[in-house]
Amino acid sequence: MIGMISELDNNLVQFDPTSIQVKQGSVQFLNAERILASAERLNEELRNVVVTDDTIKSNKKLVAEVRKQADFLDSHRKRVKKELLVPYLDFEETVKEIVETVKEGESIVRSQVRAFEEQERENKKVALQDVIKKRLRHYPKIEKYEVDTNNFIKPQMLNKSTSLDKAEKELVETLKDVEKDLGVLEVMDYGSEMIVEYLNNFSISGAIEIVNSRHKAIDKAEEVVRETVKEIEQKPKTYKLEILNADDFINVIEFLNGNNINYNKL
Contacts of 172 (CB under 8 A, 6+ apart): 135
pLDDT at residue 15 in the model: 63
User: Cβ distance 151 to 202 under 8 Å?
Assistant: yes
Q: Going residue by residue through the chain (266 aa), what tens digit of pLDDT does each one get?
A: 444 445 555 555 566 677 677 677 777 777 778 777 777 877 777 777 777 887 778 778 877 877 888 888 888 888 888 888 888 888 888 888 888 888 888 888 888 889 999 999 999 999 999 999 999 999 999 999 999 999 999 999 999 899 999 999 999 999 999 999 999 999 999 999 999 999 998 999 999 999 999 999 888 888 888 888 787 777 766 777 777 787 777 777 887 788 887 777 76
Count other C-beta atoms under 10 Å from residue 81's C-beta: 11
Contacts of 185 (CB under 8 A, 6+ apart): 191, 194, 195, 198, 204, 207, 208
Decide: pTM greater than 0.85. Answer: no
pLDDT at residue 2 in the model: 43
- State which H helix or E strand residue 166 sits in: helix 164-185
**Percent of residues in the chain assigned helix, strand, coil, to nearest 5:** 75, 0, 25
